[in-house]
Chain A
């Protein structure tokens, strides 16, 4: 699993890159009340804003961590945004990307580096 400075995680699964937000991000956001996900089939580029998450406090953008195509989104977190607080690193993933260049993953932090990053 890899981590971005935007507090997203990426993990490879069946040739796709699954993306979500970290426990730390979920705690900082507070209760999540709204999630808007991209359409499947959307071509995205790294650092592009692809969806929005709103907590009781504020709205935040979720960025595409790598170039590629959105091939699957997790509608369960749209139906029940609270899942993002319950299991951000597991069931509450956001979307799956078919990566154009999987080596972009290498730029990101591993778990130990991320733990240092958030202090």
Chain B
């Protein structure tokens, strides 16, 4: 792995007493003094500030938005051309077999596309974008900006103190906004199931902006530990756990992210990697599906837990891909893949924990209702 990289907020994390751990090649805060449980609950009750600067920020430039979007549609099964200016969308890079190479956010910022990709995948993503999109589209990795997320029901109140304009943004809007004297690229989005913002801020001004937010009563610094339990309760996929190069978006329950215009019969159907597999999955159904899982006991069912249809005997029907404790649910929570026959909400199946099969109910996701500002 070599030397671990640090984000522009590293010194602040250490000063705040964070426990730093290696994550995707970076030294990142897994928790602060509050601990995972209280950090999670604070985010759902007020507002949490997350450093997500390890994620990749990329600008795609070109002759026009249409030219850039048209090219980008060759990489993702999303409607990029139809995305309005100042709007953001969730996307997936697919591969030739219809698997998922990464999940991402992309935004129409007028004359360019702004793309945010996962830290662990960013080198591969950028290489792939260069190979597919250049020379017609320029691919520029943004390395001089931090990325922070302010999440929770009090995020609007807190951020609006720095610039009232952010209160007028709706879920998935993007805008350039001056915050604490810094030119920020703000989106009303996040990955916790809560209302909130993601803020790309020049690296030199990231610490001052973070301090300004942390000085507010509503805001606490939140580590990756709580980020994981928040997104798990919200039913959101962690790339590498819940989706990967072998998972089709249809199996993963991400069909909603593939707009009709790119599906069979749509005006711009196909033209992205793995289209035939995805169209086949959509037409014929899939053998396995990602589902929410609510263990009936108190024992967490962690990633790798084998799932069975019966309390005894039989082969595994699937596996937990993310699991742990959900502080908001005050109980264990998980997600994983099961055969389509067991995928209906309410189905009782069994997870094998320490050699014992424990009952677990297939549950509708998200397990904790989302709180977005639509």
- Which residues between 276 and 312 of chain B lie within 8 Å of chain A, taking CB atoms? 298-300, 302
Among B38, B225, B325, the one with the most A-chain Cβ atoms within 10 Å of its Cβ is: B325
Bound together, the chains give a CA A94 to CA B109 distance in angstroms of 58
CB–CB B299/A31 < 8 A: no
Residue A38 interfacial (CB < 8 Å):
no
CB–CB A31/B35 < 8 A: yes
Shortest distance from the beta carbon of A30 to any chain B beta carbon, whole Å: 6
The number of residue pairs between A and B whose CB atoms lie closer than 8 Å in the complex comes to 39
Bound together, the chains give a CA A14 to CA B192 distance in angstroms of 50
Shortest distance from the beta carbon of A85 to any chain B beta carbon, whole Å: 8
Residue A33 interfacial (CB < 8 Å):
yes
Residue B354 interfacial (CB < 8 Å):
yes
Residue B238 interfacial (CB < 8 Å):
no
Looking across the interface, which residue of chain A has its beta carbon closest to that of B225? A56
Q: Give the B interface residue count (CB, 8 A).
A: 16
Looking across the interface, which residue of chain A has its beta carbon closest to that of B228? A56
CB–CB B300/A30 < 8 A: no
CB–CB A34/B325 < 8 A: yes
* Residues of chain B with a CB closer than 8 A to A31's CB: 35-38, 325
- Which residues between 17 and 34 of chain A lie within 8 Å of chain B, taking CB atoms? 30-31, 33-34
CB–CB A36/B325 < 8 A: no
CB–CB B225/A30 < 8 A: yes
Residue A1 interfacial (CB < 8 Å):
no
Bound together, the chains give a CA A19 to CA B155 distance in angstroms of 45
Bound together, the chains give a CA A30 to CA B224 distance in angstroms of 14
* Residues of chain B with a CB closer than 8 A to A82's CB: 37
Residue B324 interfacial (CB < 8 Å):
yes
Residue A59 interfacial (CB < 8 Å):
yes
Other-chain residue from A30, A34, A56, A57 in contact with B299 (beta carbon distance below 8 A): A34
* Residues of chain B with a CB closer than 8 A to A36's CB: 299
- Nearest 4 A/B pairs, CB to CB: A31-B37, A33-B325, A56-B36, A34-B298
7 extra A-B contacts, CB within 8 A, seeds A52-B299, A56-B225, A56-B327? A30-B36, A30-B225, A33-B37, A33-B325, A34-B299, A56-B36, A57-B225
Q: Which residue numbers of A lie inside 8 Å of B, CB to CB?
A: 30-31, 33-34, 36, 52, 54, 56-59, 82
Q: Which residue numbers of B lie inside 8 Å of A, CB to CB?
A: 31, 35-38, 225, 229, 298-300, 302, 324-325, 327, 332, 354
A-B contact pairs, 9 of them (CB 8 A): A30-B36, A34-B299, A34-B300, A54-B300, A56-B36, A56-B225, A56-B229, A56-B325, A59-B302
